[in-house]
Structure 1
Amino acid sequence: MKQGAVAAGHPETARAAAMVLENGGNAFDAALAAFLASCVAEPVLSSLGGGGFLLARPAGRPPKVLDFFVQTPRRKLRESACDFRPVTADFGTTTQQFHAGFAAMAVPGAVRGVFDAHAALGRMPLKELAEPARMLARDGLTVNPQQAYVFSVVKAILALSADSRALFFRRSDDGTVSDTPLQAGDTFRHPLLADVLDALTHEGPDLFYRGEIARALTDAHAEHGGHLTAEDLRTYRTHIRDPLSVKHDDITIHTNPPPSSGGTLIAFGLEMLRGQALHKLAWGSRAQRRLLARVMDLTGAARATLEVQHGDEWRDRLLDPALLETWRSQIEGRASAYRGTTHISVVDAAGNAAALTVSNGEGSGWMIPGTGIIMNNMLGEEDLLPGGGGPGGPDWLSWPTDSRMTSMMAPTLAIHRDGGEWVLGSGGSRRIRSALLQVLANLFTYGMPLDDAITAPRLHCENGRLSLECDLPDGLAEEWRDPVLWPERNMYFGGVHAVQRTRSGGLDAFADPRRDGAALIV
């Protein structure tokens, strides 16, 4: 009998989940083990210094979302006192500016989230769930081409501190740290993190939020120009929310609700496609891509407009039926003139389903002393801050204090009326919403099998700028300002990892090759 299926962003991440399933753990145990392993195998994208969301559907019960995303600090330093540094990530075909340093760090929720999810949903001891990650960190693993590429993209951030350089850069023959990040085939070891995982599973989350690790973090912030205080850590809590649920033809889609943005924007995109006869447009045709691009562009415009009018309440207004009709009417005839995340999908034989999306941004370039925990740079993420959805960009110190930050992350569960279900999510900054929208359309409008739905070339449009994978259909070049063509599939367009359970109980799993994903059925 099959124990379950997993799809994740790295073979070792997926293997950790599979080991847990084989040893009698449930889908939630497996997802937590995979997350901890991803902190070693995907160290730029995933960290105990970041946060995330778990959409959990226990068998026979309605789904819930555990929100352990980052929180803004309770105080805000004056700009002149902040350690806040602009850095450029180089994707090869395009670049994107981020900010790093101490003042870019938000209150991390990952550790609290792991313990709270385990207490509510887990079956196996947490120490056993952490063992695959601890072994990876202690023994090391070979850097694969995808992770080497990620290191090269954020090289400028990884070079910001001596601890980070020592972890992520090659050493010269004389033992000094070179200027070259680790390459494919090199060995990556993280022994400090192995020790911290062992300590956390013995001492509990207070070690991180009240104890020695908390003191190391807040002392450094006081010294180096960061916002975080002991009260920020001591008062952090996981929030449990009902998912945002929408109907789309024969499918009910459950995804991340407000205050996060991604789920709402995906639901908006699906509503914009309703009535547009997408199924009559040949997949990959100019007309099909044109419609998708316009829907994506309208989604960004709707967010920007409502954010100006209503501030943070825009998420509660975007799906208003009258407003939807106003925006839907602009699809035809409309003149046509980015984030470090990973995802884990798991189902088990008992009927449990887990969609876990986590992020550390691109990292702040700094690790908590003596722990190997890489801190996030969420306060340096344009798309998470007020104004970040529009062309004018954000005011970097405009964030409200002591507030759960928004996110594009959208762990998702789709259930067909015949009982089949799909568990999926994606990394990819602003491209999360467009990646998931296209995969959902491929699955449910075009009837593609799971692998084809994920590997099909994607596009993304925002602020009037169109980016496409693989080819540019005739005519679109004239309709969009300076379209960007990516000759091959690229991690820029997200990384959708998904598992499927058919109505008869059959399992399938597929992980996005754009992020060197891995899928296992055990």
Structure 2
Amino acid sequence: MKYVAGLFLALLLPLSPVAQAQAVPAHPPGAAIASAHALATQAGIDIIKQGGNAFDAAVAVSATLSVVEPISSGLGGGGLWLLHDARSGRDVFVDGRETSPASATPGKFLDKHGNLDPERSQNGPWSAGIPGLPAMLVHVAERYGRLPLRQSLAPAIGIARDGFPVYSRLAQAYQVKRSVMDRYPGTRAVFSPNGKPIQAADLFRQPDLAATLQRLANQGFEGFYRGPVARKLVAGVNAQGGQWTLDELAGYRVKERAPIRFRYHEWNITTAPPVSSGGIALAQMLQILEPYDLNAMPEAERVHLVVESMRRAYRDRTFYLGDPDFVQVPQKLLTSADYAAGLRASINPDKATPSALLSGQPTPLEGEETTHFSIIDADGNRVAATQTVNLLFGSGLVPPGTGVLLNDEMDDFALKPGTPNAFGVMGYAANAPKPGKRMLSSMTPTFMESPDKVAVLGTPGGSRIITMVLLGILGYDAGLDAQQVAALPRYHHQWLPDVIEAEPGAISAEATKALQAMGHALDLPPAQAEGGRGSSHVWGNLETVEWDRRSNRLLGGSDPRSEEAQAQTLVLH
């Protein structure tokens, strides 16, 4: 069997005669996992075959992605997970977002002229927040899993210890950030062993990371946030000029929050609350679009209305959203159908609304280098999990002896009001750093449920995460299956800059002209702008699984965009 980076696996278990006789089965016929790397998907399936549930599998998938995708996520980062416990019927949002160290006041990120210093906010010790992912793995395993943590972490430990073949995207990405990463002896020891940078097809071993994972497996929270690992993390950060403390690590806590719920057509949507901005934005956009028959509209008219809903949701994101433990978020108002009706009434069906007429400024958004996985098990438990270290390889800093590549999530705070961050976007007081505060995120893990289907979806993609999930929901609503949803062409508008971005094939040449006539500015790939569809300007890595209750089938979709992320389906009887 040839493994590729993007993989969907289905494990089909035999149905009982009672289940076969039911018109609408009570449970899926097996388990399904879609993730961004074959080794991670296989780790999850192996754990389910050992008697684990979706939550044990999620721990295995997450930890394995932390080993094989350091570009995107890892123990030095954080995540936002949406869980559905089939036995109780309960949905819960688990917030493992990083937190701000007490030392990271806004003034620490300014240069001598009072300007934001991107070098400090995006690279090295000051850019890193206190990691949340290890605590999340422990929390989910202990509260929701069936298996001991050491069993669920075993696949990741083995891969870190024994190694895996370096894929070309990993080697190429290291070259992009090598000038930063080579500054730090701990990072060089991992990514340039014996003075030679990792190359495609090399066997990539990470013994220090394996040892850190083993301590986590043996000791749980204490194994990472206290004791030898914690001391090495603090010493490594502080040796490079940062100011972490052992008390900050020991004081980290996972938060459980109530998800956002709303209806769109026949679907019940369950999605991410703050500190994610995604759920509120989805509720606004979909409730604005609710009365329209988008599938029956001409393309230009449909794109116009979807873009206008995006524009309004992203504008509200700027002013109102932040860590709900620190700021008052008017969630009930922003997600109400009446508020959406008011926004809808401001849309001219024939003309673009200039973003300058919607007063305000843009806001910080999640980094491109994120990852997502989706899981359904045979009991009906579900996991939609998005995790990240923010920018490419995060801060670039590995504290010596830990193998842990730290995030650079501090750049997601509004470090200087009205000043662009790494993505050219800005924020204000609701998202300013304070000790222990979580930075605003765009990660949007989501469930969809109708009488006929259950779907789990999410994606990386920077400021485009929310709009990609929106288009995925609209795709399912239009009758597409999981793989078709994962492959949908994408377009995006985030209020400011006032422009529609689009992938090749997302908007036809005819619709492009019509949208321009309405007053929309479009930023299209060169080939598409000339009427072609051959550009490689694509984004995201949407991973989704679907249970079709009518046929009692499990379907999966892995994003085909990456050269090494071609969808593959395996059925194990």
Q: CA 1:293–1:199 in 2, change beyond 3 Å: closer, same or farther?
A: same
Which of these residues, 195, 214, 218, is aligned with residue 211 of structure 2? 195
> Is 2:533 aligned against 1:501?
no
1:355-434 superposed matches below 5 A: 355-362=384-391, 363-381=394-412, 393-394=426-427, 398-418=432-452, 420-434=453-467
What secondary structure, in the 3-state scheme, does the structure 1 residue paired with 2:492 have?
Answer: strand
Instruction: Look up the match of 1:483.
Output: 523
**How far is 1:139 from its partner?**
2.1
* Structure 2 match to 1:64: 92
Kept after mapping to 2: 8 A contact 1:384/1:407: no
User: CA contact under 8 A between 1:33 and 1:133: conserved in structure 2?
Assistant: yes
* 2:493 corresponds to 1:468: no
Q: Which has the larger displacement, 70-79 or 351-360?
A: 70-79
- 8 Å CA contact 1:69–1:110 kept in 2: the answer is yes
User: By how many angstroms is 1:70 displaced?
Assistant: 1.1
**Partner of residue 149, structure 2:** 126
Query: Does 1:302 find its partner at 2:339?
Result: no
Shift in Å at residue 149 of structure 1? Answer: 5.1
SS in 2 for 1:507: strand
2:352 to 328, 334, 352: 334
| 3-state SS in 2 of match to 1:302 | helix
SS state of the match for residue 400, structure 1?
A: coil
Cα distance in 2 for partners of 1:392, 1:344 equals 27
Give, in angstroms, the shift of residue 383 of structure 1: 7.9
Q: CA 1:268/1:116 → structure 2, altered by over 3 Å: closer, same or farther?
A: same
Structure 1 residue 227, shift from structure 2 partner: 4.3
Q: How much has 1:437 moved relative to structure 2?
A: 0.2
Q: Where in structure 2 are the equivalents of 1:87-166 lying within 5 Å?
A: 99-148=122-171, 150-151=173-174, 154-155=177-178, 157-166=180-189
Alpha-carbon contact 2:104-2:126 (below 8 Å) kept: no
- The equivalent of 2:531 in structure 1 is none
SS in 2 for 1:269: helix
Q: Does the 8 Å contact 1:39/1:48 carry over to 2?
A: yes
- Cα gap change, 1:222/1:413 in structure 2, threshold over 3 Å: closer, same or farther? same
- Letter of the structure 2 residue corresponding to residue 367 of structure 1: V
Q: Which residue type is aligned with residue 506 of structure 1?
A: R
CA distance in 2, matches of 1:489, 1:21: 40
Are the structure 2 counterparts of residues 198 and 511 from structure 1 closer, same or farther at C-alpha, using a change threshold of 3 Å? same
Please, which moves more after superposition, 455-464 or 314-323? 314-323
Superposed CA RMSD in Å reads 3.1
Report the equivalent of 1:53: 80
**In structure 2, how many angstroms separate the alpha carbons of the residues matched to 1:108 and 1:368?**
13
Superposed displacement of residue 7, structure 1: 0.1
**Is 1:459 aligned with 2:470?**
no
Q: Report deviation, 1:240.
A: 1.3
Deviations 1:297-352 (A, max 9, x none): 222123235469x9752555422444322221233233357612111111111211
Of the structure 1 ranges 138-147 and 158-167, higher mean CA displacement relative to structure 2 is found in: 158-167
- Counterpart of 1:288, as a letter, is R
Tell me if the contact between 2:186 and 2:399 (Cα under 8 Å) persists in the aligned partners.
no
| Range with greater deviation from structure 2 (206-215 or 476-485) | 476-485
- Number of equivalences: 501
Q: Aligned to 2:479, which of 447, 455, 458?
A: 447
Q: CA deviation at 1:26?
A: 0.8
Offset of 1:113 from its aligned partner?
A: 0.8
Could you tell me the TM-score, scaled by structure 2's length?
A: 0.79
| Residue identity matched to 2:491 | L
Q: Which amino acid aligns with 1:291?
A: L
Q: TM-score normalised to the size of structure 1?
A: 0.87
Q: 1:260 aligns with which of 276, 279, 289?
A: 276
Q: 1:54 to 1:191 in 2, by over 3 A?
A: same
Secondary structure at the counterpart of residue 421 of structure 1: strand
Seq. identity, %: 28
| In 2, Cα distance between equivalents of 1:118 and 1:176 | 38
Kindly provide the amino acid, as one letter, of the partner of residue 341 in structure 1. Answer: T
Cα distance 1:386–1:134, how it changes in 2: closer, same or farther (>3 A)? farther
| Paired residue type of 2:49 | E
Higher strand share: 1
Shift of 1:222: 3.8
Deviation at 1:130, TM superposition (A): 1.4
Stretch moving more, 334-343 or 62-71 = 334-343
- 1:27 paired to 2:59: no
Task: Specify every segment of 5 or more residues in structure 2 that has no aligned partner in the other structure, as ranges.
Answer: 1-11, 14-29, 356-365, 528-533
Alpha-carbon offset, residue 293 of structure 1: 2.5
Q: Is the 2:318–2:427 Cα contact (8 Å) retained in structure 1?
A: no
2:346 corresponds to which letter in structure 1? Answer: Q
**Alpha-carbon distance between aligned partners in 1 of 2:492 and 2:143, rounded to the nearest angstrom:** 37
CA gap of 1:297–1:441, structure 2 versus 1, over 3 A, is same
**Structure 1: gaps of 5 or more residues:** 88-96
Q: What is the CA-CA distance between 1:272 and the residue it aligns to?
A: 2.0
Change over 3 Å in CA distance of 1:44–1:510 after alignment to 2? same
* Counterpart Cα distance in 1 of 2:343 and 2:561: 32
Q: Aligned with 1:118: secondary structure?
A: helix
Amino acid at match of 1:45: S
| Largest Rg, 1 or 2 | 2
Distance 1:153 1:289 in 2: 35
